[in-house]
Homo-oligomer: A and B are copies of this chain.
Amino acid sequence: MQESNDIDVLVSEVGPRDGLQSIKAIMPLAAKKAWIAAEAAAGVREIEVGSFVPAKLLPQLADTAEVVRYARTIPGLAVLALVPNFKGAEHAIEAGAHKIALPLSASETHSKANLRKTHDEVIEEVRRIAGHIRGLPAGKRPGFEGNISTAFGCTLEGPVPERKVVELARRLMDAGVDDVGLSDTTGYANPAQLRRLVKLVRAEVGQDRLTSVHLHNTRGLGLANALAALEEGITTLDSSLGGLGGCPYAPGASGNIVTEDLVFMLDAMGLRTGIDIEKLLAVRQILAGALPGEALYGFTPDAGLPRGYAPGGWGVRAG
Contacts and interface: CB of A to CB of B under 8 A. Distances in A.
A52 interface: no
A13 interface: no
Contacts of A251: 302
Given A162-B319, A196-B315, A224 B265 contact: yes
B314 A247 contact: no
A219 B264 contact: yes
A158 interface: yes
A304 B254 CA distance: 13
Interface SS, A side: loop
Interface in A149-170: 152-163
Interface stretch (A43-51, A75-83, A185-193): A185-193
Contact of A315 (B153, B231, B269): B153
Interface residues of A, number: 64
A257 to B, nearest CB: 9
Given A192-B269, A227-B228, A314-B153, A249 B303 contact: yes
Contacts of A219: 261, 264-265, 299-300, 303, 306
Given A158-B306, A158-B309, A192-B269, 13 more contacts: A152-B315, A153-B315, A154-B307, A159-B306, A161-B319, A188-B315, A189-B315, A193-B269, A196-B315, A219-B299, A219-B300, A220-B298, A223-B224
